[in-house]
A and B are shown apart, each in its own frame.
Chain A
Amino acid sequence: MNELMPEHFMFLSAALFIIGMVGVLTRRNVLVIFMCVELMLTAVNISFIGFAWEFSQLTGQIFALFIIAIAAAEAVIGLGIIMALTRQRDTVDIDEVRELRQ
């Protein structure tokens, strides 16, 4: 393997994405889950940028740019919600938030 191949970044992307997914599935702290979501978004960005690199396109990079912008918005709202949750419930345990049931 002398050259940088597409498989390289694909495996990196897949690994980070799955680590993020496992984190979301196994952790209970809302903040950690939130960080895992950010990790998953970044993993997807790697794929986009990697394919853009492979095919000499820029569309992938544009997409990644939009994803980062949306991620920023999502982070603001998500953290705002976490703050509100902490104030109201005094907890960051996701299992104690069960209002969706009703």
Chain B
Amino acid sequence: MAAEVLVFNLLSGIAIVSAAAMIMMRNPVHSAIALVITFVNVAAVFIMLRAEFLAVVQIIVYTGAILVLILFVLMLVNPDELPDFHGARPMQQIFGFGLGIILLAEIAVAILTRTVVAEPGPWTEDGMAAVGGNVQAIGQVLYSGYVLPIQATALVLLAATIGALFLGRPDEDEEPTPSRRTVATISLAHTRGSDQDEIPALSSANIKHEAGDRDLIMARDADEFTSTPEDDQKGQQE
């Protein structure tokens, strides 16, 4: 049995060391590679803990998908243009490590002084073998007791996909075409927009000429027309 512990310790050691390396690395690409090592080791730990299916999922989703995605993003961000920085401000570093140490101490005390008591379930090694293995067991439990949550998760994933499409859509054209704009003001003096043709200062033909193809319903004064699409654009960027 000692071999099992030895293997576990080895895997955990590599995982922890590479995790520490991940946050220490100066280059984000190196960090990502260190994270891959951690994840692979964690997947191995999962196998030791009778979670073969999750180990595979871990490799496929995390190392296969998410980290590749991260690396893609890293490539897209031009490293030369990144500001030269490594860590945060010194105070932030001190507080960060301090908090980490305190929390580690607390959790260590918790792990060593307390025991978790629970009723053992039916899914021992033999129990899983009886239904055909870990994947079958998970399938059985998942699709009998967690149908609604899994559908909700599917919805979340769908929403995330749409959100990603939205976030990643290409920028608008460099020179936006002036959008058709409707100027509607509430007139105090007339009811229900009846003063459409009661703009004494500017004749309607005049307005049409000045404002291009914009729709003009009514306005109280000429200032209403002085803002152009360019102005609006500037206002949005500020």
Contact = CB atoms under 8 A, between A and B. Distances in A.
Contacts of B57: 65, 68
A12 interface: yes
A23 B183 CA distance: 52
B61 A72 contact: yes
Given A26-B92, A42-B39, A16 B58 contact: no
Contact of B124 (A31, A56, A66): A56
B70 A27 contact: no
Contacts of A9: 8, 45, 49
Given A49-B51, A68-B54, A19 B19 contact: yes
Contact of A79 (B69, B103, B153): B69
B-side interface size class: 35 or more
A66 B153 contact: yes
Nearest to A15: B16
A25 B146 contact: no
Most-contacted residue by chain A among B42, B61, B163 (CB, 10 A): B42
Interface string A37-51: 011001001100111
A12 to B, nearest CB: 4
B61 A52 contact: no
A25 B142 CA distance: 36
B123 A56 contact: yes
Given A35-B31, A64-B51, A28 B87 contact: yes
Interface string B151-165: 001001101110110
A42 B81 CA distance: 31
A21 B100 contact: yes
Contacts of B124: 56
Interface residues of A, number: 74
Interface in A42-86: 42, 45-46, 49-59, 61-62, 64-66, 68-77, 79-84, 86
Nearest to A31: B28
Contacts of B5: 1-4, 8
A77 B163 contact: yes
Interface string B13-45: 001100110110000100110010011001001
A87 interface: yes
Contacts of A39: 19, 22, 35, 38
A102 to B, nearest CB: 13
6 contacts: A3-B4, A18-B103, A20-B23, A26-B87, A77-B164, A90-B81
Interface of A: 1-4, 6-12, 14-16, 18-23, 25-29, 31-32, 34-36, 38-39, 42, 45-46, 49-59, 61-62, 64-66, 68-77, 79-84, 86-87, 90-93, 95
Interface of B: 1-2, 4-5, 8-9, 12, 15-16, 19-20, 22-23, 28, 31-32, 35, 38-39, 42, 45-46, 48-51, 53-54, 57-58, 61-62, 65-66, 69-70, 73-74, 76-77, 81-83, 85, 87-88, 92-93, 95-97, 99-100, 103-104, 107-108, 111-112, 116, 118-124, 127, 137-138, 141-142, 146, 149-150, 153, 156-157, 159-161, 163-164, 166-168, 171
